[in-house]
């Protein structure tokens, strides 16, 4: 929640951004270039090529990750990578004057603003950002994290500390929209605060006391200044406040995490084993099974702690573990406060939280089965495998139902697919459920997502005519992950697709081996929670091995791990953002059988691949998914 002070600051910055003071220059285009005396003679420079702390986009791609096609943008990125920054700016400016798609226009604008900052021209950077947003008709509320960082650094370089902190705080709050944004904001705000002379620092601290993000960093900066050897920043220094940034270092803060060096590594396991005994203990067993399977050094020693549901409990346990013998990593804590505490004490954390939003970065990773990962799997399967372009959602009027609605809107919007019907119901109200079914039947939807249990879904589907059930493919969440329940009403679910993070009937070797090992050790059948714990600890095991072998911190080791075909899906670590991505398997229900498969992981936007003629849709390849159900994915370990 933004404080009134921060809202005022953001409003002021918006007024500056979109006011006439940043109106386009009346000069000719050539005069708007970098101003280099002779850019043709600019030599490559490794030092000039170092990544700046606001550059959170990949070269040669748009901000959404799509490959660039404009030659000037591509050439500009090549020049930027070689450190020829004036020439890169010229190329980006040239691109910005060309006819571009909206995504490439955005890519050009953010690169122009960034290059002005690289060349230490903050006023021009701010002008470029403002001009782009005015041209696109965008307001302050539409500013993305990438542009927000440009504003934060630009205002900070111009000496407007309040505006700079306002934008850093804004970007921090957008961590859910872009993994790593909160880390970048924290890093930038820290450098800004460290550059402020003492006589001004306390004034800034008092003004921003109500902002949780800034106030926490102010406390850290006070502690740093109280340490022996601290030197007063030079107010006359010509260097920008981000000069201490090491572009060769990892973009993610690794805290105090050092490489694993001994033959044994302690791993903290923090779970609720009493209040939520079944779930917690099932996860604990999966973790214990994976730890016991670690045959190579370092051997894993689990430090299990039972906590309640209060965020303070997990945070207190994390601080307790940090105060004792070194803990190499933590597994399990679900809450955002636990992640914040893990960052503060410098212990890498792999959370099993499925909460959205949840900010990764700075040594914090997540492996929960999230709403967005389920929607990704279902839409990729329906669209990529079955050419479905018109979707509906019939959801319970609950927080979870609304979360699935928002995730589906976002996914379909990214792929330019249609959401033709949104309807909510109350589970206890038969009339509302009947009305929802009737509205679905009268729609032109080709598929419907029902984010509810098998039992509730059965009630809804029973209200549809046989013709509607044949026409509309039903999509279900992980709540459906029970072949036994669906088998009782298999005719109703014929053709349905549901997410199966842990499908007990799977023929995959990874799943069958896990089930056999679990039964052998615990004389019980594993659950999805057991499987999640097993995959999480397997990731930690392999990261510990890499850390010990290569002498790198555990977070860096996690980011470098190869693809892992886990029990709960195909798991990969994004080395840039620190996000752990899990491609979930889905199950298609047949008349008498169940088929598990991995959906396509890369599907193009609708207009790029489809040609519609009446009701016939052509142009999408009928080839199998990149990873078929019977194709094994090597872990690479």
- The mean pLDDT of 481-495, rounded to a whole number, is 85
* Domain at 370-500+568-637, CATH from 3.40.50.2300, 3.30.360.10, 3.30.1490.20, 1.10.10.10: 3.40.50.2300
Average pLDDT of every residue of the chain: 83
Contact by Cβ (8 Å): 81, 59 = yes
Contact by Cβ (8 Å): 503, 481 = yes
- Please give the Cα distance from 323 to 303 (Å, whole number): 13
* Domain at 258-368+507-562, CATH from 3.40.190.10, 3.40.1360.10, 3.40.920.10, 3.40.50.2300: 3.40.50.2300
- The token duo for 530 is 């057991």
What is the residue-wise DSSP string for 506-557?
A: ---HHHHHHHHHHHHHHSS---HHHHHHHHHHHHHHHHHHHHHHHT--HHHH
Q: Is the pTM of this model over 0.85?
A: no
Contact by Cβ (8 Å): 497, 477 = no
Total Cβ atoms within 10 A of residue 569: 25
- The mean pLDDT of 316-335, rounded to a whole number, is 86
- Under the banding of pLDDT at 50, 70 and 90, the label for residue 614 is very low
Q: In terms of DSSP H, where are the helices of 208-273?
A: 212-226
Given this model, what pLDDT does residue 630 score? Answer: 36
Of 103-117, 374-388, 485-499, the range with the lowest mean pLDDT is 485-499
In the three-class reduction of DSSP (H, G, I as helix; E, B as strand; rest coil), residue 302 is classed as: strand
Question: Which value, to the nearest 10 degrees, does the dihedral of the CA atoms of residues 190, 193, 198, 199 take?
Answer: -160
Does 416 score more than 60 pLDDT? Answer: yes
Does 396 score more than 50 pLDDT? Answer: yes
- Please give the Cα distance from 298 to 265 (Å, whole number): 6
- The mean pLDDT of 19-43, rounded to a whole number, is 42
Secondary structure E strands in 33-113: none
- Please give the Cα distance from 544 to 555 (Å, whole number): 10
- Please give the Cα distance from 466 to 470 (Å, whole number): 6
Convert the pLDDT of each residue in 538-584 to its tens digit. 999 999 999 999 998 999 899 889 889 999 999 988 655 556 888 99
Convert the pLDDT of each residue in 212-239 to its tens digit. 899 989 988 888 888 766 888 888 888 8
% of the chain residues with pLDDT over 70: 83
- The token duo for 345 is 């004490």
- CATH topology identical between 258-368+507-562 and 370-500+568-637: yes
- The mean pLDDT of 375-402, rounded to a whole number, is 95
- Under the banding of pLDDT at 50, 70 and 90, the label for residue 254 is very low
Convert the pLDDT of each residue in 72-111 to its tens digit. 999 899 899 889 999 999 999 999 999 999 999 999 999 9
Burial (CB < 10 A; 0-12, 13-18, 19+), residue 304, is: middle
Q: How many CA atoms lie within 13 A of 84 on its CB side?
A: 18
Given this model, what pLDDT does residue 94 score? Answer: 96
Does 252 score more than 80 pLDDT? Answer: no
Q: Which residue has the higher pLDDT, 295 or 577?
A: 295
* Residue length of the chain: 637
- Under the banding of pLDDT at 50, 70 and 90, the label for residue 481 is confident
Domain boundaries, the chain: 4-226, 258-368+507-562, 370-500+568-637
Does 26 score more than 70 pLDDT? Answer: no
The conformational region for residue 240 under phi > 0 = left, psi -120 to 50 = alpha, else beta, is: beta
- The token duo for 350 is 């792999």
Does 203 score more than 60 pLDDT? Answer: yes
């Amino acid at each position: 929640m933004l404080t009134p002070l921060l809202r005022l600051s953001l409003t002021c910055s918006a007024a500056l951004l979109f006011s006439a003071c940043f109106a386009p220059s009346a000069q000719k285009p050539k005069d708007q270039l970098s101003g280099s005396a002779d850019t043709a003679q600019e030599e490559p420079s490794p030092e000039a090529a170092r990544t700046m702390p606001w550059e959170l986009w990949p070269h040669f791609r748009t901000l959404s990750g799509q490959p660039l096609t404009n030659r000037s943008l591509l050439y500009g990125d090549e020049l930027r990578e070689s450190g020829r920054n004036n020439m890169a700016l010229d190329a980006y400016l040239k691109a910005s004057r060309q006819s571009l798609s909206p995504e490439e226009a955005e890519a050009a604008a953010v690169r122009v603003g960034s290059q002005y900052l690289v060349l230490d021209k903050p006023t021009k950077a701010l002008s470029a950002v403002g001009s782009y947003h005015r041209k696109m008709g965008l307001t302050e509320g539409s500013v993305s994290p990438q542009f927000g960082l440009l504003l934060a650094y630009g205002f900070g370089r111009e000496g407007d500390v309040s505006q700079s902190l306002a934008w850093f705080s804004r970007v921090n709050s957008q961590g859910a929209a872009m993994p790593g944004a909160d880390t970048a904001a924290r890093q930038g705000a820290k450098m800004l605060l460290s550059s402020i002379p003492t006589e001004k620092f306390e004034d800034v601290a008092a003004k921003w006391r109500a902002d949780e993000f800034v106030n926490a960093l102010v406390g850290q900066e006070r502690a740093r200044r109280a340490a022996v050897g601290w030197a007063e920043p030079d107010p006359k220094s010509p260097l920008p406040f981000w000069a201490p940034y090491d572009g060769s270092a990892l973009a993610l803060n690794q805290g105090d995490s050092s490489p694993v060096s001994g033959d044994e590594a302690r791993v903290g396991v923090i779970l609720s084993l009493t209040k939520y005994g079944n779930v917690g203990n099932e996860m604990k067993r999966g973790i214990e099974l994976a730890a016991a399977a670690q045959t190579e050094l370092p051997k894993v020693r689990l430090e299990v702690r039972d906590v309640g549901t209060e965020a303070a409990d997990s945070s207190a346990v994390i601080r307790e573990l940090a105060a004792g013998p070194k803990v190499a990593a933590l597994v399990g804590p679900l809450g955002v406060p636990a992640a914040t505490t893990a960052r503060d004490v410098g212990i890498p954390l792999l959370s099993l939280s499925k909460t959205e939003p949840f900010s990764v970065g700075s040594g914090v990773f997540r492996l929960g089965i999230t709403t967005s990962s389920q929607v990704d799997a279902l839409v990729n399967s329906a669209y990529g495998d079955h050419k479905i372009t018109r979707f509906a959602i019939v959801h319970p009027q609950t927080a979870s139902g609304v979360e699935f609605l928002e995730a589906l809107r976002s996914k379909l919007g990214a792929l330019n697919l249609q959401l033709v019907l949104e309807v909510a119901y109350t589970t206890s109200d038969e009339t509302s459920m009947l009305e929802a079914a009737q509205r679905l039947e009268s729609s032109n939807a080709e598929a419907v997502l029902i984010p509810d249990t098998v039992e509730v879904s059965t009630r809804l589907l029973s209200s549809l005519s046989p013709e509607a059930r044949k026409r509309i493919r039903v999509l279900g969440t992980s709540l459906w992950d029970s072949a036994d329940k669906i088998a009782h009403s298999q005719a109703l679910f014929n053709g349905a697709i549901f997410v199966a993070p842990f499908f007990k009937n799977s023929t995959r070797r990874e799943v069958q081996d896990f089930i056999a090992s679990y039964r052998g050790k615990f004389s019980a059948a594993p659950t999805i929670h057991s499987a999640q714990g097993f995959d999480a600890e397997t990731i930690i095991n392999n990261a510990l091995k890499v850390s010990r072998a290569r002498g790198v911190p555990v977070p860096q080791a996690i980011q470098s791990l190869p693809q892992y075909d886990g029990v709960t899906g195909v798991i990969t670590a994004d080395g840039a953002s620190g996000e752990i991505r899990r491609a979930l398997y889905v199950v298609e229900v047949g008349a008498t059988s169940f088929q598990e498969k991995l959906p396509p992981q890369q599907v193009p936007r609708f207009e790029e691949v489809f040609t519609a003629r009446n009701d016939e849709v052509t142009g999408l390849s009928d080839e199998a998914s990149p990873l078929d159900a019977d194709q094994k994915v090597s872990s690479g370990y």
